A and B are shown apart, each in its own frame.
Chain A
Amino acid sequence: MIIYLLCFILFLVGLYGVISKRNLIKIIIGIAIMEYSINLFFILIGYVEGGTAPILTKGFENSKFVDPLPQAMILTSIVIGLATTALLLAVAIRLYQKYGTFDINKIKDLKG
């Protein structure tokens, strides 16, 4: 049980970073941390105590396997996370070129 709690705390650490930090790069790091914690959570769901890799070979048909589906989902989700982070960083670099700063207090043209 404790490992799930630790995983949830990791999620909250990321959320804290997104909410409280003023630097664009730190916000992006926060989002990345949240993402990793959820990937970890998926792996935990599929884990079976003492299980082996889910490959059917002769003589091992009846042994314990870990659940392969969460792992497949996480591979997809890691790729999606890569795209999200890359786009966020690209926009952050463009913002730096326009404003000359990463501070979100100085980037506030849109109001109301």
Chain B
Amino acid sequence: MNSLIPLFVIIPLGSAFVMVILGRFIKNFNKFITPIFMLGLVYLTFHFMMNSEGTLIYKVGGHEPVGNTPIAIYMVMDGLAKLVLLIISLVGFLSIFYSLSYTKQYTAERKFYVLFSLMIAGMNGIVISGDIFNIFVFLEIAALSSYALVAFGVEKQQLEASFKYQVLGGIASLIILLTIGLIYWNTGTLNIADISRQLTINCSSPSGTNVFIKFISVLLIAGFGLKAAIFPFHSWLPDAHSSAPSPISAMLSGVLIKAVGIYVLIRLFFNMFPISYELSMTITVLGTISMIVGVLLAIGQWDFKRLLAYHSISQMGYVIIGVGIGMLILAKGGDKKIAALSISGGLFHMLNHSIFKGLLFLNAGSVEYRTNTRNLKKLGGLSSKMPITSGSSFIASMAISGIPPFNGFFSKVLIIIAAVQAGYIWIAFFAVLVSVITLASFTKIQKYLFFGELHSKYEKIKEVPFSMSFSMILLSVLCLVLSLLVIPEVRMIFLQPAVDVLINAADYSTNILGI
């Protein structure tokens, strides 16, 4: 079982390599191979979820630790990693299946699939890496391919968005690299588990180490906050996510900001640093602000994809406050049950958001595919012409605004209940308020896009091809099915392992180092 872990990186990276060479000679080779290996990754993730427990470690090169110092590069598979891998492979498979028809409009179709596989390899690598420098390397692989994919249309807007994204992403990467240097300077190791042990030992003696930890934490929030588009660092997200090809927008909004930003933040702040009150307060406050600011900026938008991109900022705020409240309770030594409820709400919302936001971006792509515009004012009455797009977008809109039978409702309720129980009434109030504003803005989309009068120009449009509608139908079914996760027995299988990793944060280093 342990030796299967590197496959998550090897399969997509190897396929990207093979596709560059063989795609030239065999027609449609790339289109054929990419969905197949994505399906394989989905299977592999489920295999790990069902058949393995606890923390699995793979040491690259097989070097055993000398004394207590780990030498090999560690690949770690635990509950949290499994959950994020599930998100990556599920949304990745559906959006690549959607692209099979969608990419016909581009001339360099082959390269799309190569870049896509590289992005998957980078994100999988970040998730299973137990080593802070390898996180940086894989992060750059994922980021570089996403820069290229944003600019894939090579029109004016795509290039401008990609340049902006590259400059801000480049600064974020450099800040992260600086932080890695500082951590290595202070602790003399790069392994996350070992760093955690060193910091705990150092923490007890001099007061200088605490200042160091605070400095590093601020740099890390800046670096990964830029990648995750938390409030003061969000300015690149609406441009980049609205200019990319639609399946890529679904991947960026649904998966990349979570795997690259939120996941690493959660992993480092729970499992590497000792949890501190000030830091958890900072994270929670930033999450609350980005939740409010994102939705306020979204109301006034008339570009469909831009509106969705602003909602991504707002919804990531929910994930951050869910996890942040859990951190606050743990830092104060409060009731672990409430902390577990709050964290599971946050992680549940992360899973849900990738599903419904992915679906919404795919809907936007379908509308653009048939009508060549994203401006809400120019569209209308499409529900009679495109029933599948209209129906699935209705389901996704209800899910994102938190209407009961759909998944978004349950995760938001978990977060709000936990916030009230922990005594943060204001956060609960804002979460409800933002949810109501979200509903208003998605009602606007439904009204302008799918109801109202049909423009005479669009009399002849048809529903989108099979591969696109199949992905949308499957995602809308998932919107309903994931509601089942609120039942405790189902939650035990999928969410509880991930929550356990975060609740018993100190166990991470003992599990890996074995001391």
Contacts and interface: CB of A to CB of B under 8 A. Distances in A.
Interface of A: 11, 15, 18, 24, 27, 31, 34-35, 38, 41-42, 45, 69-70, 73, 76-77, 80, 83-84, 87-88, 91-92, 94-95, 98-99, 107-110, 112
Contacts of A73: 133, 180
Contacts of B181: 38, 41-42, 45, 70
A112 B190 CA distance: 41
B243 A84 contact: no
Contacts of A76: 133, 137
Given A38-B181, A84-B140, A110-B239, A91 B174 contact: no
Contacts of A80: 137, 140
Given A45-B185, A87-B144, A27 B167 contact: yes
Contact of B163 (A15, A35, A83, A92): A92
A88 B148 CA distance: 10
Contact of B166 (A11, A35, A84): A84
Interface string B248-266: 0000000000000000000
A24 B239 CA distance: 18
A31 B160 contact: no
Contact of B160 (A18, A87, A107): A107
Contacts of A77: 177
B203 to A, nearest CB: 21
A35 B173 CA distance: 10
A80 B157 CA distance: 26
Interface string B133-175: 1000100100010011001001111011111101100110110
Closest 4 CB pairs of A and B: A80-B140, A110-B239, A45-B185, A98-B156
B167 A18 contact: yes
A99 B96 CA distance: 32
A90 to B, nearest CB: 9
The main secondary structure of chain A at its interface with chain B is helix
B144 A91 contact: no
A99 B147 contact: no
A92 B160 CA distance: 9
B301 interface: yes
B170 A88 contact: yes
Contacts of A91: 147, 151, 159, 162-163, 166
A87 B133 CA distance: 22
A77 B184 CA distance: 15
B174 A109 contact: no
B293 interface: no
Contact of B144 (A34, A45, A84, A95): A84
B44 interface: no
A31 B147 contact: no
A103 B145 CA distance: 26
Given A69-B184, A73-B133, A41 B160 contact: no
Contacts of A92: 163
Contacts of A83: 140, 144
B306 interface: yes
Contacts of B162: 91
User: Which of B161, B164, B181 gathers the greatest number of chain A CB atoms within 10 Å?
Assistant: B181
